[in-house]
Amino acid sequence: MQAPYAVEAVSLSKTVVSNDTTIPILTNLNLAVPKGERLAIIGSSGSGKSTLLGLLAGLDIASSGKVLIDGSDIGPLDEDGRAAIRAKHMGFVFQSFQLLGSLTAFENVMLPLQLASRSDASSIAMAALESVGLAARSTHYPKQLSGGEQQRVAIARAFAAKPSILFADEPTGNLDAATGESIIELLFDLNVKSGTTLVLVTHDMNLARRCQRVLNLQNGQLKEIDIADNKAGAH
C-alpha cells in the first residue's frame, strides 16, 4: 500500500546547546504533506524554518521524533542511507544557489545524475537546461552567469532527476524583484508539469500565497493560516 504522504514529521523536536543552555528550536512539531501538494512554510527570521527543512530532508538529525519520507522513517538510517533517500526522492533549490564554481552549468546539472549512475546523464542534463532556457549557456561557469541564471541552473539540477519532493529554501532571497518573479514563475511551472511535491520555505507572503497551503512556524510549532488573509504574513 502506497503511503499517502510525501513527507511527514511526527512529534519532531530540535534543540541546540549554547553556553551550557539548551535552546528549543522545534517542539513536538507535526506535519503531513500529501503527495503533489505545494506547501509554503513562513516565519520570522530565526524561527527555525531552515532547520525544519534540513530535518525533513535528512540533512540534520532531530533531537526527538520522526521524519518519514514516502512512509519510511529516515531516523534509523546512517548518513549514507539518508543520502540514498535524498538521491532517490529529493531535489533542492537554495537561496545561495549551491553551484560548484569549477564546473560548467551543464556539468553542475549532470553531476548528481552521474552520482546516481544514470547512463543517460548527459542527455537529461541538456534537456533540463533547455527547460530553463539556458541551453546556450551550458558551457559557462557560475561566475560567468548572473544570479538569475545561476538559480535557473540550480532549478534545472533540482528537476533533472525527476524528484518526487522538491525542497526550496528562500529561492529568491538573493535576487532582485524582477528576476525573482521570473524564477518563481519557472519554479511553479516546472513543479506543476512534473507533479512534484513542493515544500517552500520563505519569508515572502506574496510568494507563499502561490502555494495551496501556508503554515506559519512560530515558537517551534506550525499553524495553518488563511492564504486570503491579507493581514497574515512573515517579517
pLDDT tens column, 37-59: 999 999 988 899 999 999 999 99
Q: Count of CB atoms within 10 A of residue 176's CB?
A: 10
CA-to-CA distance for 235 and 233, rounded, in angstroms? 7
Closest-CA residue to 44 (of 205, 184, 211, 175): 205
pLDDT tens column, 163-193: 999 999 999 888 998 999 999 999 999 999 9
pLDDT beyond 60 at 230:
no
- Determine the angle formed by the axes of helices 147-160 and 121-131, rounding to 10 degrees: 130
CA-to-CA distance for 223 and 159, rounded, in angstroms? 29
What is the band of 224 on the pLDDT scale with cuts at 50, 70, 90?
very high
pLDDT beyond 50 at 231:
no
| Torsion of Cα atoms, 216 then 86 then 150 then 96, to 10° | 50
- Residues shown for the chain: 235
Quote the pLDDT of residue 1: 59
Quote the pLDDT of residue 38: 95
Quote the pLDDT of residue 44: 87
Q: Is 40 helix (H, G, I), strand (E, B) or coil?
A: strand
The domains located in the chain, with CATH, are: 36-59+78-224 (3.40.50.300)
Quote the pLDDT of residue 117: 86
pLDDT tens column, 134-164: 999 999 999 999 999 999 999 999 999 899 9
State the chain's mean pLDDT as an integer: 91
Q: In what order do the strands lie in the sheet with 213-218?
A: 90-94, 165-169, 197-201, 38-42, 213-218, 221-224
What is the band of 235 on the pLDDT scale with cuts at 50, 70, 90?
very low
pLDDT tens column, 197-219: 999 999 888 889 999 999 999 99
pLDDT tens column, 107-116: 999 999 998 8
